[in-house]
Structure formats: structure tokens, C-alpha cells
């Protein structure tokens, strides 16, 4: 089965972490939650989810993973400040491995400079950021372009999860 990293930090969107995490685990995939600080306890912005970061940026090596998922919320604004995690996303995309981002997670994709010339979607309020980073932004439930899988909001999670699982086989 595939080994997938989920990037997480404080104030993540609760369902955008939990639902992909559970879908991946239920399908038999290995999941490692990586954040800026191993052992840090991070809470979702809605207060329904909490998680202890299993590994720090030193574990973010594209050769060791088959996919990466970045939940939204406010966490991506923090994650995009970590050069190692941004580099990991860039390396995953360059290797053609699935890079799945939902909602505000497009910020991490923009920072990694992997959206230029690609069609993506996100929550509407970061549309301009993605367009300024060179993306062709569209308002669709799920968009797949090259290694990127993007969705807009928690309402899109079923399609987002299906796209990830299909890509992983």
C-alpha cells in the first residue's frame, strides 16, 4: 500500500484532515502526519479534532512517500513558512507524485511554485494568490492537473478523497 504524508499545523480545518486521514487508513494506506515540530499537539480551528505531530520536517523526503495531502484551514499559512516542508511539496510534484490540497492549502502549492501553468481550485478567497502564482484557477469540486489534486471546501471532500484514492490505486 501507499505511504502518504499529511502536513498539519495548528488551526487546520478539522474535517479536511480527518476525512482524508480516515479514507487513506480505511483503504489500507500508511499515513504519517508531518508538521513543523515533532510531538507538538495541534488543534483544529473548529475544536473537534486534535492531533500530535508524528514527525518533523526532517522526515519530509519525497523518496520515502507516494503522496502528500495538505488540509486547509489556517494551518497552510504556517506551513508555507517552513522551507523544508515547502521543498517537500515541490519535490513530490517534481517527481510526479500526487500532491493533494484543499481549501487554503493552495497557499502551500503557491509557495512551492508548483501551480504555474496548471489548472487548480481552492477556497475562493485565495483565488488571486493562486492566479498571481501562475495558476489557471477554476471553480470546480475537484481539479486534477499533473500531480496536483485540488478541491475547494469541506463540501468537496467526497470527490477529493475519491480522487486521491483513485490516484493511489
Q: So which residues are the catalytic ones?
A: 103
List the one residue out of 63, 76, 74 whose CA is nearest residue 6. 76
Residue ranges in the chain assigned as alpha helix (H): 14-26, 75-79, 83-94, 106-111, 127-132, 157-168
Q: Any residues with CB less than 8 A from the CB of 116 and at least 6 apart, and which?
A: 133, 134, 135
The partner residues of 100 in beta bridges, in order of sequence, read 69, 149
d(CA 148, CA 27): 20
Amino acid at each position: 500500500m501507499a505511504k502518504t504524508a499529511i502536513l498539519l499545523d495548528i488551526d487546520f480545518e478539522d474535517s479536511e484532515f480527518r476525512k482524508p486521514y480516515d479514507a487513506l487508513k480505511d483503504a489500507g494506506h500508511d499515513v504519517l502526519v508531518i508538521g513543523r515540530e515533532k510531538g507538538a499537539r495541534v488543534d483544529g480551528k473548529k475544536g473537534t479534532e486534535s492531533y500530535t505531530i508524528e514527525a518533523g520536517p526532517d522526515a519530509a523526503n519525497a523518496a520515502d512517500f507516494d503522496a502528500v495531502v495538505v488540509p486547509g484551514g489556517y494551518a497552510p499559512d504556517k506551513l508555507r513558512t517552513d522551507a523544508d516542508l515547502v521543498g517537500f511539496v515541490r519535490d513530490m510534484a517534481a517527481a510526479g507524485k500526487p500532491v493533494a490540497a484543499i481549501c487554503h492549502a493552495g497557499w502551500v502549492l503557491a509557495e512551492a511554485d508548483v501551480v504555474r501553468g496548471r489548472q487548480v481550485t481552492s477556497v475562493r478567497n485565495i483565488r488571486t494568490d493562486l492566479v498571481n502564482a501562475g495558476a489557471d484557477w477554476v471553480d470546480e469540486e475537484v481539479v486534477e492537473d499533473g500531480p496536483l489534486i485540488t478541491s475547494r471546501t469541506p463540501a468537496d471532500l467526497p470527490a477529493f478523497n475519491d480522487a486521491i484514492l483513485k490516484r493511489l490505486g
